[in-house]
Amino acid sequence: MKNIINEFLNLVKERNGDEPEFLQAVEEVAETVLPYIVKHEIYYGKNILLRMVEPERAITFRVCWVDDSGVIQVNRGYRIQMNSAIGPYKGGLRFHPTVNMSILKFLAFEQVFKNSLTTLPMGGGKGGSDFDPKGKSDGEIMRFCHSFMSELFRHIGPNTDIPAGDIGVGAREVGFLFGMYKKLKNEFTGVLTGKGLSWGGSLIRPEATGYGTVYFAQKMLETKGEGFNGKQVVVSGSGNVAQYAVEKSIQLGANVLTMSDSSGYIYDSEGINTEKLAHIMQIKNVKRGRISDYLETYKNAIFVKGKTPWEVKCDIALPCATQNELTEIDAEILLKNGCICVSEGANMPSTIQAVHVFQKARILYAPGKASNAGGVATSGLEMTQNSLRFNWTREEVDLKLKEIMSNIHDSCIKYGKDEDGYVDYVRGANIAGFVKVADAMLAQGIV
Ligand SMILES: NC(=O)C1=CN([C@@H]2O[C@H](COP(=O)(O)OP(=O)(O)OC[C@H]3O[C@@H](n4cnc5c(N)ncnc54)[C@H](O)[C@@H]3O)[C@@H](O)[C@H]2O)C=CC1
Ligand SMILES: O=C(O)CCC(=O)C(=O)O
């Protein structure tokens, strides 16, 4: 089996050698899906995974805009339309200076499996730009978003490709993008998700990724007769996903000790409560400041510069910032400190070596494509509401989100349970996600 996996990975490396994040995402899937393909005749010998690692379409384009001092800036825009076997391309847009083909292809590839797991009819895509929103005025953000959409609009549509937010793209950016799309197409459609409530957005979409990550962790903990109440929780990030993962953890009675950004982490030994979280939301969403600003108000807390929070003793870890933020050494420290559950809010936050450490120790570990799927699932619910020209209540959407997370958990168990009862959520998520897409691809022929 090792030979088959290596042969496949070498082939993918030959074609995508300078794309480390993409190769990492493919390796993690190949390790679990290829053994399944080999055992199932309907998939074997059809190069099905090789077809899935090749984007159906990858678009790059120039984005020119004028900054506040009148200087013309040039950025690069992307949209990777990875797989449309089970529905139109769906996935977020990332605005961050590190954005490149490798990062967007890894995200688009993960998105294919994740969207399949939600059980909703959505293919996978991802896009973005190397534009850095940090320190930009609202006017600059608007001009950039308008310029970005002035090209992207011809490649997307409510039945073709439906972008949404990701790092650096929240409600403000989705608003500017939607405004330009509507002007160019003269159509009011659900072409983007994460929209504002008064113009087609869904209740609970802002909360959905963070809440879903916690709902998934709850399902995992239940299998051991455990829950969030009274547990020590360590969270990384302080953006959209982190904020609502913290909110839900607090609601369930946990004690949240940390949050972070790219400059370091804050540790509040007394716990981040609802009032403190509201303050962090103000710092991050309104003032667009640094996480260390927390210490100006909460002087008991400490700020650890340039480090990630995995050294803090906890029961549950929720990585909610970015890819590869949790290394093999971090994983070992978490285990040594007694951590029993890791539920990923971010996409691929654990290195492949860290994942192997968690699997070897047989703790409850959920890969992002399963545990953070609540965000895109609720985007799917937003699309449904747009099509119905109807809005569900907060309670209705939250209930559907919970059901979807529970179904994803069931799918992971179906395909990931070992004979001794241990659930390998990586194997479960990869195979469950693969089967639905592969079946659709086989039914549609070689296209
Ligand atoms: N927004 C969504 O609905 C979904 C987001 N995700 C993933 O969740 C993660 C966070 O995304 P959002 O919260 O939406 O973005 P955001 O832009 O709201 O927040 C990003 C967070 O990551 C931190 N961050 C960025 N680069 C970092 C670095 N190098 N080191 C440490 N922290 C860093 C930022 O300080 C911030 O706290 C990403 O991996 C994203 O792909 C996954 C599923 C859905
Ligand atoms: O809601 C969406 O379509 C995008 C969510 C996303 O980008 C993700 O799941 O990583």
Q: Does residue 22 lie within any of the structural domains? A: yes
389-392: Cβ within 8 A, 24+ apart: 391/202, 391/203, 392/202, 392/203
The answer to whether the beta carbons of residues 190 and 162 sit under 8 Å apart is yes
pLDDT at 271: 98
Q: Are residues 174 and 221 in the same domain?
A: no
Is residue 369 annotated as part of the catalytic site, yes or no? Answer: no
Q: Is the CB of 433 inside a 6 Å radius of any atom of ligand 2?
A: no
Would you say residue 236 has pLDDT above 90?
yes
Q: Which of the listed residues 52, 69, 85 is the one where a domain comes to its end?
A: 52
Element (H, E) at 234: strand 232-236
CATH number at residue 92: 3.40.50.10860
pLDDT at 125: 98
From residue 284, how far is each of 92, 138, 259, 277, 352 by CA, in Å? 20, 15, 12, 10, 30
When the pLDDT of each residue in the chain is averaged and rounded to a whole number, the result is: 98
Report the nearest-CA residue for atom 1 of ligand 2: 376
- Torsion-angle region of 389 (φ positive above 0: left; ψ -120 to 50: alpha; else: beta): left
Report the nearest-CA residue for atom 5 of ligand 1: 166
Best CA proximity match to 118, nearest among 302, 374, 338, 339: 374
Element (H, E) at 140: helix 138-152
Domain count, the chain: 3
What is the side-by-side strand order in the sheet with 316-319? Answer: 302-305, 264-267, 255-261, 232-236, 316-319, 341-343, 364-366
Ligand 2 atom with the shortest distance to the CA of 347: 10
Ligand 1 centroid from CA 206, angstroms: 13
pLDDT, tens digit (0-9, with 9 covering 90-100), for 333-353: 999 999 999 999 999 999 999
pLDDT, tens digit (0-9, with 9 covering 90-100), for 167-226: 999 999 999 999 999 999 999 999 999 999 999 999 999 999 999 999 999 999 999 999
Q: Does residue 435 lie within any of the structural domains? A: no
Q: How confident is the model at residue 123 (pLDDT cuts 50, 70, 90)?
A: very high
Q: Write out the binding residues.
A: 90, 111, 114, 165, 209, 240, 379
Tell me how far apart the terminal alpha carbons of the chain are, to the nearest angstrom.
28
Q: Are residues 358 and 238 in the same domain?
A: yes
CATH number at residue 345: 3.40.50.720
Average pLDDT on 250-254 reads 98
User: CB atoms < 10 A from the CB of 15, how many?
Assistant: 10
pLDDT, tens digit (0-9, with 9 covering 90-100), for 369-381: 999 999 999 999 9
d(CA 163, CA 190): 10
ipTM (interface pTM): 0.98
Report the nearest-CA residue for atom 28 of ligand 1: 262
User: CB atoms < 10 A from the CB of 175, how many?
Assistant: 17
Element (H, E) at 302: strand 302-305
The answer to whether the beta carbons of residues 212 and 336 sit under 8 Å apart is no
Owning domain of residue 93: 57-188
Q: Are residues 150 and 259 in the same domain?
A: no
Torsion of CA 160, 165, 167, 169, to 10 degrees: 110
The answer to whether the beta carbons of residues 193 and 113 sit under 8 Å apart is no
Q: Does residue 315 lie within any of the structural domains? A: yes
Q: Are residues 37 and 129 in the same domain?
A: no
d(CA 353, CA 263): 24
Ligand 1 centroid from CA 104, angstroms: 14
Q: Does residue 288 lie within any of the structural domains? A: yes
pLDDT, tens digit (0-9, with 9 covering 90-100), for 387-402: 999 999 999 999 999 9
Would you say residue 1 has pLDDT above 90?
no
Q: How many C-alpha atoms does 400 have within 13 Å on its Cβ side? A: 23
Q: Which of the listed residues 188, 223, 252 is the one where a domain comes to its end?
A: 188
Q: Are residues 270 and 298 in the same domain?
A: yes
Report the nearest-CA residue for atom 42 of ligand 1: 346
Q: Are residues 233 and 310 in the same domain?
A: yes
**Token output for 445:** 């022929």
Question: Which protein residues are within 6 Å of ligand 1, measured from CB?
Answer: 165-168, 170, 209, 237-242, 260-262, 320-322, 325, 345-347, 372, 375
Q: Does residue 278 lie within any of the structural domains? A: yes
Q: Are residues 133 and 224 in the same domain?
A: no
Q: Does residue 289 lie within any of the structural domains? A: yes
Would you say residue 17 has pLDDT above 90?
no
Give residue for tokens 């399944």: 36
Give residue for tokens 């309104």: 286
Q: State the burial class of residue 216 (Cβ atoms within 10 Å of its Cβ: 0-12, 13-18, 19+).
A: buried
Average pLDDT on 143-162 reads 98
Q: Does residue 69 lie within any of the structural domains? A: yes
Q: Does residue 399 lie within any of the structural domains? A: no
Parallel, antiparallel or unpaired: strands 302-305 and 57-66: unpaired
pLDDT, tens digit (0-9, with 9 covering 90-100), for 45-92: 999 999 999 999 999 999 999 999 999 999 999 999 999 999 999 999
Best CA proximity match to 54, nearest among 95, 98, 87, 19: 19
Transcribe 73-139 into DSSP letters.
EEEEEEEEEEE-SSSSEEEEEEE-TT--HHHHHHHHHHHHHHHHHTTSS--EEEEEES---TT--HH
